[in-house]
Chain A
Amino acid sequence: MIRFENVSKVYGAQAVVKNIDFQVAQGEFLVLIGPSGCGKTTTLKMINRLVEPSGGKILVGGRDIMQLDPVMLRREIGYVIQQIGLFPNMSIEENIDLVPRLLGWEKEKRAGRVRELLKLVDMDYDMYAGRYPNELSGGQQQRIGVLRALAAEPSIILMDEPFGALDPITRENLQDELKNLQNKLQKTIVFVTHDMDEAIKLADRIAIMRDGGIVQLASPETILRHPKDDFVVEFIGKHRVGSELATVESIMKSNPVIIGPDKGGAEALALMRRKGVDTLLVVDGEKKLLGVLSIEKLDREHKAVRLIKDVMDTNLPVVTAESSASEAFDLLIGQGLKYLPVVDEQNRLLGLVTRTSMVNALAGVVWGEEDGVESNF
């Protein structure tokens, strides 16, 4: 979707961007990150020609941008800046439908679009459309800033530290919303930040820049696991957990107690007593996970239970062995679960993450010895 070929930018004798090459795929979320003065913002602004490259070629949707009318190019690329930049003299509606207006959309189509966009961030049209930017909080303003960039349905959106000026809580909220929006809309996004947390949270791929060049361009996972050099190591700092990011596989219990779907209630109770557990995982002959049976459920419906498959809970969240431990942790804590089955792509049961295994893993990180701690629980 976007392609940089040997692009450089020189101001006087100073090279700000030095011969960089990279591509951004359709629907990809690329984060440019690096210390100030590394050329990340210049790189971003070259895409919509706010800064013109001194050398090399930039292709957007296969077209050389230097051959395009910059005004038309910009209208088909959404743009969000750090200072928000809502026009104080325009209402929220006028701010959002600015580009559609420039493009000459019909009035009804514009109003419909504004309605639709406000709905995306749960803002009520009748309540907000007629307001002015100074009547909104900073977070609301930047929500509008993002909607404004989406208004004319561009396939590419450029964001220049859009959440940098917001307080931490608002920033987190907007990051979450942006992520949800991105899941729904699948835009191609190039996002500049100097905040590694933000980059890891949002990016499909991160480009770490330094002195006008790209040091490493890879997925957050790869960068955290295999930082290319000392600069990257230093830059990602606290995010580097030991030498690798813990996966679910490394913390799960691998032999959960299982039972077949066609067994009876009494047999299940006996099994629980024997193994000292209060939950059984129900699997079929191929170890495919069918459901979960808890002792509470069994107690409550003891008399009525004929077959386990009639009483088991089938609606339960699962994780894969490759997902990160923190994801499992979020699920457990976030949804108040006691346990989380681990499955492979074919839904075959591999193991189980419980709160205890989670705590053990964390204790291992904190005290550095997993085995010693376990006995204390």
Chain B
Amino acid sequence: MSPIFELLATRWPEISVALWQHIYLSMGSVAFGILISVPLGIWLSSRDKTARMVLGVFGAVQTIPSLAFLGFVLPVLGIGTLPAMTVLFIYSVLPILRNTYTAIKEVNPALLEAGTGMGMTARELLFMVKLPMALPVIMSGIKISTVYIISWTTFSALIGAGGLGDLIYGGMNVYDLGLIVAGTIPAALLAILAGSILGRLERAVKPRGLR
């Protein structure tokens, strides 16, 4: 272990810059992903036809290899932070969208009937019943997105957006194993950390009556 710590310590100036870029690229993309996917998922939950279409499109996009996707984006958006975040954002959408849509759809119809029958408006039903019931599943979608967007953010280095990928690709180019490890380990730790924090959050938002 100690050689790795040593390595990380000596490379710390480069790592810290790359780590910060990595964090804001990934978190920024996921944040936008949440901002778009959650409302979209809610909106789609009452429109089955449109929902199938939209989910189909994002499902198809998801299958495009990220490297190829960067190739598509490059001519249009050029290089740098913006195209990188655009691609990551698009990838982040599907798990959150699908989970939001499914979780809202799967709220027990008896609850909706009771709520409506007691005089809740559609908005009250959404905020008092549907969302609280769906939140754990939505959070789990956010967790999945976050963890894999953190790992995919390494690709952003390829279009000059920086991040820990810089160290990894740099290391690969000059056969510097130390540099590769200096990029890989913080990226992996970041993903694990985010996964565990969001996993905790997922349990915390679970209504007490459902535990």
Contact = CB atoms under 8 A, between A and B. Distances in A.
Interface of A: 45, 48, 50, 71-76, 79, 81, 83-91, 98-99, 102, 132-135, 148-149, 158
Contacts of B129: 87, 89
16 contacts: A50-B117, A72-B119, A73-B119, A81-B110, A81-B114, A83-B114, A84-B110, A85-B108, A85-B110, A87-B129, A88-B111, A88-B207, A90-B209, A91-B209, A102-B118, A149-B118
Contact of A81 (B117, B124, B132, B133): B117
A142 to B, nearest CB: 12
Q: Which 5 pairs of residues, A with B, have the shortest CB-CB distance?
A: A85-B114, A132-B209, A75-B119, A89-B207, A74-B119
A134 B116 contact: no
B160 interface: no
B110 A74 contact: no
A212 B102 CA distance: 36
B110 A75 contact: no
Given A50-B116, A89-B210, 14 more contacts: A45-B117, A74-B119, A79-B117, A81-B110, A81-B113, A83-B108, A83-B114, A85-B108, A85-B113, A88-B207, A89-B209, A99-B118, A134-B210, A135-B209
Q: Which of B113, B117, B119 has the most CB of A within 10 A?
A: B119
A176 to B, nearest CB: 24
A117 to B, nearest CB: 15
Interface string B167-211: 000000000000000000000000000000000000000011110
Nearest to A99: B118
Q: On chain B, which size bracket covers the interface?
A: 20 to 34
B31 interface: no
Interface in B76-115: 108, 110-111, 113-115
B120 interface: yes
B135 to A, nearest CB: 9
B128 A87 contact: yes
Contacts of B132: 89
Contact of A133 (B118, B128, B209): B209
A133 B111 CA distance: 13
B2 interface: no
Interface of B: 108, 110-111, 113-121, 124, 128-129, 132-133, 207-210
A73 B120 CA distance: 11
Nearest to A132: B209
B133 A102 contact: no
B116 A83 contact: no
Contacts of A91: 209
Contacts of A134: 209-210
A211 B98 CA distance: 42
Given A85-B110, A88-B207, A89-B133, A71 B117 contact: no
Contact of B118 (A45, A88, A98, A132): A98
A149 B114 CA distance: 10
A75 B118 contact: yes
Contacts of B116: 50, 74
A44 to B, nearest CB: 10
A91 B207 CA distance: 10
B5 to A, nearest CB: 46
A41 B118 CA distance: 16
A102 B132 CA distance: 17
Given A99-B119, A102-B119, A88 B113 contact: no
B117 A48 contact: yes
A199 B132 CA distance: 38
A90 B121 CA distance: 17
A48 B207 CA distance: 30
A102 B124 contact: yes
Contacts of B208: 89, 132
Contacts of A89: 129, 132-133, 207-210
Contacts of A73: 119
A153 B132 CA distance: 27
A85 B108 CA distance: 9
Contacts of B207: 88-90, 132
A50 B133 CA distance: 22
Contacts of A72: 119
A158 B118 CA distance: 10
B133 A88 contact: yes
Contacts of A132: 207-209
Contacts of A74: 116-119
Contacts of B117: 45, 48, 50, 74, 79, 81, 158
B211 to A, nearest CB: 9
Contact of B119 (A71, A84, A158): A71
Given A85-B113, A89-B133, A102-B124, A79 B118 contact: yes
Nearest to A45: B117
Contact of A50 (B108, B110, B113): B113
Contacts of B124: 102
A51 to B, nearest CB: 11
Contacts of A75: 118-119
B194 to A, nearest CB: 26
A83 B210 contact: no
Nearest to B206: A89
B116 to A, nearest CB: 7
